Structure 1
Amino acid sequence: MPTVILVRHGRTTANASGVLAGRQSGVLLDDAGEQQVRVMAERLAAVPLRAVVTSPLERCRQTAAAIVAAHPESLRASRDAKLTECDYGDWQGRALKELAKEPLWKLVQQQPSAAAFPGGESMRAMQDRAVAAVRRHDRQVRDEHGEDAVWVAVSHGDIIKSILADALGTHLDQFQRIVVDPASVSIIRYTDARPYVQASNTHAGDLSWLRPAKRSRRRVSPDAAVGGGAGPSPTGTRS
Structure 2
Amino acid sequence: MTKVYLIRHGKTEWNLESRYQGAHGDSPLLPQSYQEIKLLAAYLRPVHFAHAYASPLKRARVTAEQLIEHLDQPVRLTIDSRLMEFNLGQMEGMHFADVAKKWPEELKNFRHHPDQYNEQATGSESFAQVIDRVGSAIKEFCRLNPASNILVVSHGAALNATINALVGTPLAHLKDRGGLSNTSTTILETTDAEHFTLEQWNETSYLHKTKVDPTDTI
Do they superpose with TM above 0.5?
A: yes
Determine the structure 2 residue equivalent to 1:84.
Answer: 84
> Is the contact between residue 113 and residue 124 of structure 1 (CA under 8 Å) also seen in structure 2?
no
- CA–CA separation in structure 2 for the residues paired with 1:113 and 1:125: 13
- CA–CA separation in structure 1 for the residues paired with 2:24 and 2:14: 10
Give the drift of 1:26: 4.5
Q: What's the CA shift string for 1:119-178, capped at 9, x where partnerless? A: 231121111111111011111112xxxx2x101000001111112212331112212223
Superposition pairs for residues 6-155 of structure 1, below 5 Å?
6-24=6-24, 26-101=26-101, 102=103, 103-115=105-117, 116=119, 118-142=122-146, 147=147, 149-155=148-154
2:184 is matched by which residue type in structure 1? S
3-state secondary structure, aligned to 2:74:
coil
Give the drift of 1:187: 0.3
**Structure 1 unaligned regions, length at least 5:** 206-239
Q: With structure 1 as the length reference, what TM-score do the two structures score?
A: 0.78
1:124 is matched by which residue type in structure 2? A
- CA–CA separation in structure 2 for the residues paired with 1:167 and 1:122: 16
Runs (4+) off by over 3 Å: none
Question: What is the aligned residue count?
Answer: 200
- CA–CA separation in structure 2 for the residues paired with 1:186 and 1:94: 28
| Larger proportion of helix | 2
Determine the structure 2 residue equivalent to 1:217.
Answer: none
Determine the structure 2 residue equivalent to 1:184.
Answer: 184
**Structure 2 unaligned regions, length at least 5:** 207-218
Identity over aligned pairs, percent: 25
Which one has the largest radius of gyration? 1
Q: With structure 2 as the length reference, what TM-score do the two structures score?
A: 0.85
Determine the structure 1 residue equivalent to 2:213.
Answer: none
